[in-house]
Amino acid sequence: DAGVIQSPRHEVTEMGQEVTLRCKPISGHNSLFWYRQTMMRGLELLIYFNNNVPIDDSGMPEDRFSAKMPNASFSTLKIQPSEPRDSAVYFCASSLGRRETQYFGPGTRLLVL
């Protein structure tokens, strides 16, 4: 299996621009998680889906962030408009079930100038 796939791996953008991060979970996994990692705050869970349905988005920092999972093999995390404080590494993870082992993707390193 190819593992969790994320794109792009690196993104540099200017403040105010829209950013879309993409994730393809491991085939057969029905839970998907979006995390943000920064030096200051460590790993934070932003949102997670079970069977394509958002279950808990309480970690989404504000309305500028949105996430979708239109089908079992694809999810997006969108930031609009982006701000410099959004600069971080964004990880997607998937698991067989809501409490099973999570497998992480390689991450998207986002820099907002």
Contacts (CB under 8 A) with another protein, residues 63-92: 91
Closest to 71 measured CA to CA, from 3, 25, 19: 25
Question: CB burial class (10 A; 0-12, 13-18, 19+) of residue 25?
Answer: buried
For another protein, the binding residue among 13, 20, 45, 54 (CB under 8 A) is 45
For another protein, the binding residue among 52, 57, 74, 104 (CB under 8 A) is 104
- What's the closest the beta carbon of residue 55 comes to another protein, in angstroms? 6
What DSSP character marks residue 85?
G
CA distance 41 to 74: 27
Select 51 or 80, whichever has its Cβ closest to another protein. 51
- Point out which residues bind another protein (CB under 8 A): 31, 33, 42-43, 45, 48, 50, 55-56, 91, 93, 98-99, 101-107
